[in-house]
Each structure stands twice: as C-alpha cells, then as structure tokens.
Structure 1
C-alpha cells in the first residue's frame, strides 16, 4: 500500500454496506487486523472514525467488498499523511464539540450511527 494511488475521501459518497452483499468472503483474521489498526489511528485521525466504525460492523464475516473499502481508507491515509490533531499551548484555548448521525443508515438492521468529537 506504500505505492498506492491516494483518494480524496475515505468512503465513496452514499455507499451502503450490507452483511450479505453477494461477494466472496475475505480473510477474517486479516480483516480484523486491518480494523484494529484503523481503530488505533482514530485517536489522532478523527476523519476516518465514521468509515472505520462502519467497517467494524462486519468483523464476523467480512466480504471482499468490505475489505476493499478498508483498503480505500488506507489509500486515503496515504494521501493525507500531513493531517492530524495538533495542540498548541495557549492561555485562551476554547473547547469545541461536534456531533453527527445518519439516522437508520444500516441496511441490515436499520440502526443509526452517531459520533462526536471535541
């Protein structure tokens, strides 16, 4: 993945992932390892939190499509290495919070996904 072509976004717009998407099964052990690594990165890369959270729903039986979306996140990270959270020492610091949700975005069980960042 070091020589991969970067992409501008971690997910394709309006992409809907399902448990039974009809594609062949991926190596579950390799997929879980990818998800663990991406979850570790979310500590400093909040921009991949939603995509990683979405993919973590499929760790029991991932498909090749799910694995491909995971590789897309890696391609996104390759092109955005300079992104991250930077803290400056400043006496006038203010805390900002953001939240978002997708209201029944899961195609399998109609559950919502929500997230927040400070």
Structure 2
C-alpha cells in the first residue's frame, strides 16, 4: 500500500523517493522495527565546541540546585551577542532535549541585558549537554491506548517579579511513547 501510494504521488508531483529519513535540519533519525530515535548529537557536540567547552568538566544537572537568577545580580555585563547566540543554539536543541527546556527558558529571560552570572548559567547547560550529547527521544508503538502528561512548574519562583515559572509540558497519546534516553 505504501509503495502504491508513493508511485501515485510520483506520477502526479515531481518528486523522488530518497528512502528512510536519516538527517533533517540537524535532527538525526534512526529507525528500526516500529521504533524511532531522534537526537541532535552532532549539533550538540558542534555547539559545545563553538563556545570553547569541548573537553570541559561535565556536570550531571543543567542547573545548580536552588539557583535563583536575577536581572541585576551585580556580576557585570556579559557579551550580549555571544549570549544570544548561545541561547538560540540551546533553544534549537530543546526539540529533542526536553530535559534542558526549563533551564534554557530560565536563562533566556535575560537576553536583553545578560550578566556574567547568566552566561555562567548558560555555559553550565552546555557542560551538561557535553556529558549527555547522545540523549534524544525514543518513539515506539504501543498496543494499549493511553494519555500521559508531564509538567514542571514552581510557585512564585522568579526573584525579580514573583511570577510563577512553568517549565515544559509533554504529552503522549495512544501509539506514541516518548522517553529521553541514550542512543540505542
């Protein structure tokens, strides 16, 4: 049926069958027996190298425990262009790395006027990425229909304006089961 559909589409539209997807816009895709693993291993390693952290001391968490970032921390101004470039790179990485989404969102708040402490927090995320660059998302089929949802938030966690912070929300339904894992 799939072969027939492809042939029909090729007869109507100008297109070519390139086979299974392996790379797309920095995403690496591995497929096997109803399972798909999506990661950004090369992109992550290139990002770490771009900011001079190749071979750095790796860390086990993307943020320091209970670290509260503030707008005016008195640590001095950071290089705005470099900070924004780093945050943009980290934001793109969150497509396959929901484990860093909250930390990236937190440091991204300070893109207008970053300090050295904000840059340090962003580089810590990179040090975590250096240790876990092979992580990604597994998608596999399931026979049991179910809805799963995960969320992370705090209550009035922003030191500057006392607003609540919502980390990220991830949900799956029926045949799709997502989990963060290392390469198969």
After TM superposition, the score normalised by the length of structure 1 is 0.93
* Counterpart Cα distance in 2 of 1:9 and 1:95: 28
Query: Deviation of residue 91 (structure 1)?
Result: 4.2
Matched, 1:86 2:138: yes
In structure 2, the partner of 1:116 is 169
**Aligned counterpart, 1:73:** 125
Question: Between Structure 1 and Structure 2, which shows a larger proportion of strand residues?
Answer: 2
Trace 1:1-118 onto structure 2 (pairs within 5 A).
1-92=53-144, 94-114=146-166, 115-118=168-171
Which stretch shows the higher mean deviation, 63-72 or 95-104? 95-104
Aligned length: 118
Cα distance in structure 1, aligned partners of 2:86 and 2:150: 27
5+ unaligned residues in a row in structure 2: which ranges?
1-52, 172-184
* Large movers: runs of 4+ above 3 Å: 89-95
Q: State how far apart, in whole Å, the 2-side matches of 1:95 and 1:37 are.
A: 31
Structure 1 alignment gaps of length 5 or more: none
Q: Deviations over 1:86-106 (max 9, x none)?
A: 112444464421112111111
CA RMSD of aligned residues (A): 1.3
Deviates more, 1:51-60 or 1:90-99: 90-99
SS in 2 for 1:100: strand
Provide TM-score, normalisation by structure 2: 0.61
